[in-house]
Structure 1
Amino acid sequence: MSLAENSKNWRSGLSLAECNRYMLTHQIHCDVTFRVGKEGKLVRAHKYVLSCRSPVFDAMLYGDLAESDDIIVPDIEPSSFDVLLRFLYCGEVNFSLDTVTSVLYAADKYGVDDLVTTIKSYLDQNITNETVLIILESAKLFNLEDLLKKCKNFIESDPFPVFQSSSALEVTKETLTYIISLDSLVMDELEIYQFLIKWSENQCDRVGMEKTDQNIRAVMGDLIYSIRFHTMNLDTFVKDVCNREILDAQEKLSLQQVIVGSVDKEKTKFKFEERTCETFCVLRGERKDTERFWAYSRSLPDCIEFTVNKTVRIHGFVMWGGRSIPYTYTIQGKLFANSKEVSTVPVQTIEKRESSDIKFTIPLPEPVRLVPGVRYRTWVRLEGPESWRGQNYRSSVTEHGVEFVFYAHSGKTNGTSHTRGQFPGFVCSL
């Protein structure tokens, strides 16, 4: 007795999707055979179901050039082909980030637009620091422009945790080239370079290659030319780049000359376009106290402490200027992270002559990345005339999705606190 006869009541009370699932699972009346994957796993199915759901299968099974023998499918793994079939038969969706690319390939190959749309929606809703690179690779591979743009914007908004993710070292060279070449990737070039070394070492491990500087450079190939070495200061370049043989002697010499401004950039293969970033001001308050002033006769520093809830880069401190024009200040600045000095503005003189200069900015030598979980302290010592001062500052400010929470410094200072005094704002970028 056949399986169909033995189960003559199986159709009773079942939906069409349930019937299709039953027929596929129990291989009832199958009339087409596939050999799937590199090992050619035998998979049986039904022409009518496939042709109804896929124009590619319809042409393949009922068109003028319809195939009569087993259909060979070497480029799709059996597990992904099974996901495709179960979607066609009963609308089941069963994939994960580990399998989504291969399932998307199968759906795209056979023109199953509903499944492609479902996968795009899934990817769009699951972009995180851990997944964005995997999703970006799928977006590039299948020309999903909207998804690619969303991944790009996500990386640009906060690249450091993306590069720190466990998936970053597994990204393909093509995808890494795309990311590192972005002029809008605002990240410390030394950090990008150090990540590139780790990625190359991981590639060496995967093929059993010794992790010498020469092999690391061979793995990097032209990727190395996307690092904007010219933006590093000379001390950093000599200490952290020239200490290894990843760049050759001529490249090191040429880049050192570019850094100090004494060579034609066209003579090297490296990129010299500046990475672009949108800076913005984080203002504690713009209201100046017109009745009282801020004096600096005691030579004490003004300080304020703060935390952030999201990674952001700080470029400088906004300060109140002199009450009378013109004015001149001798300034010195510092930035501390958990009481450790991380940036120093050397002693220098600033002079302002315009009536609009009620504020001025003290730029840091290089932007500093601020991260959650760290308590930061700005420190500025001014010598000069009385300045304006702020009042009724807000204790927390949110700009561009980053929350800054301010605290008074407990040490001996010139009097600035979370409610009054200096530091009306900071210049930052994402």
Structure 2
Amino acid sequence: MAVCETKSGDWRDDKTLAECMRHMLKNEIMCDVTLRVGEGRTPMKAHKYMLASRSPVFHTMFEGSMPETGEIDIPDIEESTFNNILAYIYTDEIVVTNSNVTELLYASDKYMLSKVKQDCEKTLKKTATSEHAAKTLQTAYKYHLPDLLQESLHHIEMDTKKCLLSEHSFSLPIECVDMILKSDYLSCSETDVCQFFLKWTKAQCDLQKIEATGQNMRNLVGQTLYQIRFPVVDMDFFSKEIANTDFLSSDEMIAIYRFQYGIKTSIFNNNKRGGPIEKRQVHTVTRYTDSSDFYDESEGTEALIFQADTDIWLKGVNLFPYNSYETEINFKILDETNEEIIVHKTEKDVNYGYDSPQLIVLPKPVQILSGKEYTITTQNSTEGMYYGVDCSHSVKASDCDVSITFKNSPMCTGISNVDEGQFAGFTFFV
């Protein structure tokens, strides 16, 4: 008689730690807390130990001076979102998409899950450079994401009219509108800015269910009114859309009309906006004072850490190219977490020669935040190179109050350090 083989062994066999944790959660093995999630208060069981190990909020909830007992209500997070959060807590895995990013960002902010929050920010950065930049700006402001906020503002400066016509712009909080209107670098006319401001103000009146009278609108916008540069708005538009309302006082309107005849006013800014960042003055820092003799053993990674004492927009990098038959130069810039913020590839310019640095202009300016360390890297060739020597560890621009400090990078396997190397300097906007 044939013997029937039966499967033996334990469910833990051949499973990774993450797989075991997922199994414990899914099968409610030894769970010791019940969470009531979403509007329907769906019960979801979990382990206090796991929740507290990943979230300081849960740790305080269970081990603080007034620990929670019994079931815990979480009505503000839907079940599907909380399932994703639990999957991350138990397995370190999370998938952030355009459709779930807002919900995950809220949950990760609430429970102080920094890794999930970072992944959400990466996904949102894709919309920061689109016509939806206004929505991303609002999200960045709400969840205290300064890098994302600045990137959104920059794109709004670059493509102001399109961004301000987006449906998302009319639901912006007044703090975000104020940020936009403070910019000297909006790429549209002041009349366009004024039109947006009036439409936004009327939309806010509708949201608050108040009549959009001039006085109600003025009360709603407060001091943000003075961010509009009324003296340089088209006077036909001003006369038809603003002068016949009580949005401005009679003294303010008189001052605006007097400005048309050369009489300056201190009530409103009367300077035209300067356009996008790329139209600002370019500044340069150069860290080397001389170049080396030809160096023939340079294969490896050249890397250097740099830090600015003021927020800047990096326009280009001065780099000594390596002397090889390859025609491309490749480099990366990484942030403090070693996240790539730019990967750039460009052709070598033979007009520079190999014993002098080549200015490599980036496809778009990259924001460098003050006080943060960034790393620039490039790969070298066995064909060798020239490089800068007698370099300064800290350099101040000659025509603005910006200093950039350099540090050795542990990523470097070549010759670049604070005293010498391929990285000759930077060009930037302030």
Shorter-chain TM-score bucket reads 0.5 to 0.7
Matched, 1:275 2:273: yes
Deviation track 1:91-113 (CA, whole Å, cap 9, x = no partner) reads 44355556534422432343322
- Give the partner amino acid of 1:133: A
Question: For residues 400 and 198 of structure 1, what CA distance do their matches in structure 2 show?
Answer: 36
Q: Which residue of 1 aligns with 2:154?
A: 153
Question: For residues 201 and 26 of structure 1, what CA distance do their matches in structure 2 show?
Answer: 53
Count of residue pairs brought into register by the alignment? 275
Matched, 1:144 2:145: yes
Q: Which residue of 1 aligns with 2:61?
A: 60
- Give the partner amino acid of 2:165: Q
- Give the partner amino acid of 2:228: I
Q: Which residue of 1 aligns with 2:197?
A: 196
**Alignment of structure 1 residues 30-429 onto 2, 5 Å:** 30-36=31-37, 42-62=43-63, 66-73=67-74, 76=77, 78-97=79-98, 99-262=100-263, 265-266=265-266, 268=267, 270-272=268-270, 274-277=272-275, 279=279
Question: For residues 98 and 214 of structure 1, what CA distance do their matches in structure 2 show?
Answer: 40
Q: CA deviation at 1:188?
A: 1.0
Is the contact made by 2:128 and 2:137 (CA closer than 8 Å) also made in structure 1? no
Change (3 A) 1:233 1:191: closer
Question: For residues 223 and 100 of structure 2, what CA distance do their matches in structure 1 show?
Answer: 30
Say which SS state the counterpart of residue 127 (structure 2) adopts: coil
Question: For residues 84 and 229 of structure 2, what CA distance do their matches in structure 1 show?
Answer: 44
Say which SS state the counterpart of residue 34 (structure 2) adopts: strand
Question: For residues 59 and 201 of structure 2, what CA distance do their matches in structure 1 show?
Answer: 45
Structure label with greater radius of gyration: 1
Change (3 A) 1:72 1:168: same
Is the contact made by 2:55 and 2:113 (CA closer than 8 Å) also made in structure 1? yes
Question: For residues 229 and 132 of structure 1, what CA distance do their matches in structure 2 show?
Answer: 25
Q: CA deviation at 1:172?
A: 1.9
Q: CA deviation at 1:221?
A: 3.3
Question: For residues 40 and 254 of structure 2, what CA distance do their matches in structure 1 show?
Answer: 53
Deviation track 1:269-299 (CA, whole Å, cap 9, x = no partner) reads x34454333549xxxxxxxxxxxxxxxxxxx
- Give the partner amino acid of 1:140: Y
Is the contact made by 1:87 and 1:93 (CA closer than 8 Å) also made in structure 2? yes
Change (3 A) 1:29 1:259: farther
Say which SS state the counterpart of residue 33 (structure 1) adopts: strand
Deviation track 1:348-393 (CA, whole Å, cap 9, x = no partner) reads xxxxxxxxxxxxxxxxxxxxxxxxxxxxxxxxxxxxxxxxxxxxxx
Query: Percent identity among equivalent residues?
Result: 34
Q: CA deviation at 1:231?
A: 1.4
Q: CA deviation at 1:229?
A: 0.8
Q: CA deviation at 1:187?
A: 2.1
Q: CA deviation at 1:242?
A: 2.1
Q: CA deviation at 1:63?
A: 5.5
Change (3 A) 1:233 1:138: closer
* RMSD of aligned Cα (Å): 3.5
Change (3 A) 1:22 1:216: farther
Change (3 A) 1:66 1:190: same
Say which SS state the counterpart of residue 125 (structure 1) adopts: helix
Q: CA deviation at 1:122?
A: 1.6
Is the contact made by 1:21 and 1:86 (CA closer than 8 Å) also made in structure 2? yes
Q: CA deviation at 1:233?
A: 4.8
Question: For residues 243 and 213 of structure 1, what CA distance do their matches in structure 2 show?
Answer: 9
- Give the partner amino acid of 1:177: D
Say which SS state the counterpart of residue 187 (structure 1) adopts: coil
- Give the partner amino acid of 2:273: R
Is the contact made by 1:33 and 1:70 (CA closer than 8 Å) also made in structure 2? yes
Is the contact made by 2:161 and 2:187 (CA closer than 8 Å) also made in structure 1? no
Change (3 A) 1:53 1:80: same
TM-score normalized by structure 2? 0.54
- Give the partner amino acid of 1:163: L
Q: CA deviation at 1:46?
A: 1.0
Change (3 A) 1:77 1:175: farther
